[in-house]
Amino acid sequence: MEYIRMENTGAVAVLTVDRPKALNALNSHVLEEMNEALDSLDPSIVRVMIITGAGEKSFVAGADISEMCTLTKEQGSAFGRKGNALFRRIETLPFPVIAAVNGFALGGGNELAMCCDIRICSENAVFGQPETGLGITPGFGGTQRLARLVGLGMAKQLLYTARNIKASEALRIGLVNAVYPPDELMDAALRLAEQIASNAPIAVRACKKAVNEGIELGMDDAADLEVRLFGDCFETEDQRLGMGSFLKKEKHPPYLNR
């Protein structure tokens, strides 16, 4: 692949958008290669994926304006559907996905980060949805995920003003979970991924399903979903191993050895 690097070291996969001369901007080719990279993953092996950008300046600076500027209405809709479908695919992967935001995360870059389960960033990260300043709306899920993550009022302010925010403000409003010095970001992302991967994979995936699907349901239906997934865990080797280790006073079940 020309613009996507996928490194898979056992339970943790790292997907890097590698187009640094264009600040890792997303064009149709990049989106297609990201889909191809996801096709290459073995979900029976991978337990966590990290997404980051190449270079020191940018995670993903946005969708490629040089491609978008000549699109017709129909072509614009098609481009939006392509990006939305990919980001929805990432959001619904069975295993957790961590965005390691190492610089600009604007427009499509912020939308890519938001479709991940967890976002951590470097101190030089910048977030924003600048689309209204360009005469368009976000097209890859930004209007929907931003409101769900930071609340309606803050999301509308960021969308309407097209204002960029720094890492410290992204942390304050809950858009990211943690901020690190640039040279510590990937180590922090890998530590977090390894901590997740060391836990029972079936239970982690069930938690993701419960949160992602339950948030769209009424409380009664969401509770029913949780109870069903909770019960399903009792038919797994993960549960027997985990509870057996606890009763034997073992430090941590060896899930990664399975």
How far is the C-alpha of 88 from the C-alpha of 1, rounded, in Å? 22
Exactly one of 32, 33, 36, 131 is catalytic; name it.
131
12 bridge partner residues? 9, 48
**Is 111 one of the annotated active-site residues of the chain?**
yes
The one catalytic residue in 111, 194, 216, 250 is: 111
Query: CA of 165: how far to CAs of 137, 155, 175, 230, in Å?
Result: 18, 12, 10, 39
* CA–CA separation, 57 and 34 (whole Å): 20
Instruction: List beta partners, residue 60.
Output: 105
Residue 205's Cβ-side half-sphere holds a number of Cα atoms within 13 Å equal to 18
Is 216 in the active site?
Answer: no
The SS3 assignment for 8 reads strand
Q: Please name which of 130, 129, 126, 128 lies closest in space to residue 166, comparing C-alpha atoms.
A: 126
Q: Please, are residues 22 and 70 in contact by the beta-carbon 8 Å criterion?
A: no
Question: Distance between CA atoms of 131 and 197, rounded to whole angstroms?
Answer: 36
Amino acid sitting at position 43: P
Looking at residue 146, the DSSP 8-state letter turns out to be H
Catalytic residues: 111, 131
